[in-house]
């Protein structure tokens, strides 16, 4: 499902206040055919777990009379996608393609957006796709997948999804 299709059912409110569930977050990737974020493929079909992690990088030092001190030197953003293999889902098919499973370097890097459906706020950046398992499990069970997406290159930028952007993209595509 494309991001613009998903967001046709939602209207983020920038001033939203309240609790959020994991289902309120969207991860969408460029599956190689996108001209804008609205054409990114949503990572959701067959996904039972989307673990979004901020992995801080720190350096510990001990100073005379001050003791131990920790300095944060960076952050490695990562997403862990787990669930059942769904053949025909463009996001899974892209991430589990032969060239992604065995690729290296920039060949496995793609653009992503990650944001909250409730307020539209999140981030945009690049990730390396790392396939840990392309199908596993016991006889008679669904085939399980385990994929990691880790920040690649420069820091992600702030991103805000707005309904106006989605409507403009839908109108532009309808004219073509």
Report the pLDDT value the prediction gives residue 164, as an integer from 0 to 100. 58
Q: Do 113 and 158 form a contact (C-beta atoms < 8 A)?
A: no
- At 26-45, the pLDDT tens digits run 999 999 988 889 999 999 99
4 CB burial (10 A radius; 0-12, 13-18, 19+): buried
Task: With respect to residue 55, please indicate whether it lies within any of the assigned structural domains.
Answer: yes
The angle subtended at Cα 57 by Cα 76 and Cα 94, nearest 5°, is: 15
Task: With respect to residue 157, please indicate whether it lies within any of the assigned structural domains.
Answer: yes
Indicate whether 176 pLDDT > 80: no
pTM given for the model: 0.88
Indicate whether 169 pLDDT > 90: no
Q: Report DSSP letters for 61-76, one per residue.
A: EEETTTEEEEEEEEEE
- At 126-161, the pLDDT tens digits run 999 999 999 888 999 999 999 999 999 999 999 999
CB count in 10 Å sphere of residue 122? 20
Task: With respect to residue 59, please indicate whether it lies within any of the assigned structural domains.
Answer: yes
Indicate whether 8 pLDDT > 50: yes
Between CA 30 and CA 110 the distance in angstroms is 6
Indicate whether 163 pLDDT > 70: no
Provide the CATH number for the domain around residue 85: 2.40.30
Nearest-10 Cα torsion for 161, 165, 79, 1: 130
Q: 34 or 58: whose pLDDT is higher? A: 58
Q: Domain tally for the chain?
A: 1
Report the pLDDT value the prediction gives residue 107, as an integer from 0 to 100. 97
Report the pLDDT value the prediction gives residue 35, as an integer from 0 to 100. 87
Specify the 3-state DSSP secondary structure of 153. coil
Task: With respect to residue 172, please indicate whether it lies within any of the assigned structural domains.
Answer: no
- At 67-110, the pLDDT tens digits run 999 999 999 999 999 999 999 999 999 999 999 999 999 999 99
Task: With respect to residue 173, please indicate whether it lies within any of the assigned structural domains.
Answer: no
Q: Which domain holds residue 23?
A: 3-161
Between CA 47 and CA 71 the distance in angstroms is 36
């Amino acid at each position: 499902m494309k991001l613009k299709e998903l967001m046709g059912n939602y209207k983020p409110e920038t001033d939203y206040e309240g609790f959020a569930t994991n289902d309120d977050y969207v991860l969408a990737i460029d599956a190689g055919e996108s001209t804008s974020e609205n054409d990114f493929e949503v990572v959701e079909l067959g996904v039972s777990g989307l673990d979004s992690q901020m992995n801080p990088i720190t350096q510990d030092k001990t100073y005379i009379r001050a003791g131990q001190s920790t300095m944060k030197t960076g952050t490695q953003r990562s997403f862990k996608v787990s669930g059942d293999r769904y053949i025909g889902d463009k996001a899974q098919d892209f991430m589990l393609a032969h060239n992604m499973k065995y690729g290296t370097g920039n060949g496995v890097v793609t653009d992503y957006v990650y944001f909250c459906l409730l307020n539209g706020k999140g981030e945009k950046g690049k990730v390396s796709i790392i396939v840990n398992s392309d199908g596993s499990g016991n006889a008679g069970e669904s085939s399980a997948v385990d994929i990691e997406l880790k920040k690649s290159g420069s820091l992600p930028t702030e991103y805000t999804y707005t309904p106006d952007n989605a409507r403009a993209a839908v109108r532009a595509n309808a004219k073509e």
